[in-house]
Amino acid sequence: MNNMPSSNGSGSVPDTPCASPGRRQDAASLSVRIADITVVSGGECLRTLLGSCVGIALHDPYQKTGGLAHVMLPSSQGHTGPPGKFMDTAIPELLNQLSRMGSKVAAMTARIAGGASMLNASAGTSIGDQNVAAAETELSRLRIPIVGRHCGGTSGRRMLFCTQTGSVRIEVVGAGDAEI
């Protein structure tokens, strides 16, 4: 069962070849949809599209497990919804799912991306900024180090997480790819 992806919501859709940085793999990448959480243990790649949402990629390099949450909002504040929707519920749920696969919190590292201000560059803190700040707070509380980040700005991002290596590739329309 450990090789099966696990998702809490609408499911993951494998259809794009996983192109990890520097080489192309045969394995398909799994799409993680908005407010969804997916964990894998077979070295698969996970991908998601981000605007003001933030992608949280947790990786255990020893177990070669990893999980990706596509989080929409910083705090649940009494609202109900799937755990992947809010930062304060998504990260603990992602951690729980990885723990059930044998991953140890102490071994985990995090990479985060997204949090753009897509439509309004007005004064005040945008939802994107709030999402990034909430991710940092929650990961700090859980003592999970953030080893890579690609956040803010006004552009969307495609985030491709290779759980074999832990690397995350970021694609931005009209700009070169980046690896974090």
Kindly tell me which residue out of 17, 21, 104, 120 binds another protein, with binding defined by CB under 8 A: 120
Per-residue CA distances from 26 to 32, 117, 133 (Å): 19, 35, 36
Site for another protein in 26-85 (CB under 8 A): 31, 33-36, 47, 49-53, 72-73, 79-83, 85
Could you confirm whether 18 is annotated as catalytic?
Answer: no
How many residues bind another protein (CB under 8 A)? The answer is 37
What distance in Å separates the CA atoms of residue 61 and residue 151, rounded to the nearest whole number? 23
| Residue 119 touches another protein, criterion: CB under 8 A | yes
Nearest to 34 by CA among 45, 47, 43, 44: 47
Q: Which residues bind another protein (CB under 8 A)?
A: 8-10, 15-16, 31, 33-36, 47, 49-53, 72-73, 79-83, 85, 116, 118-120, 127, 154-158, 171, 173-174
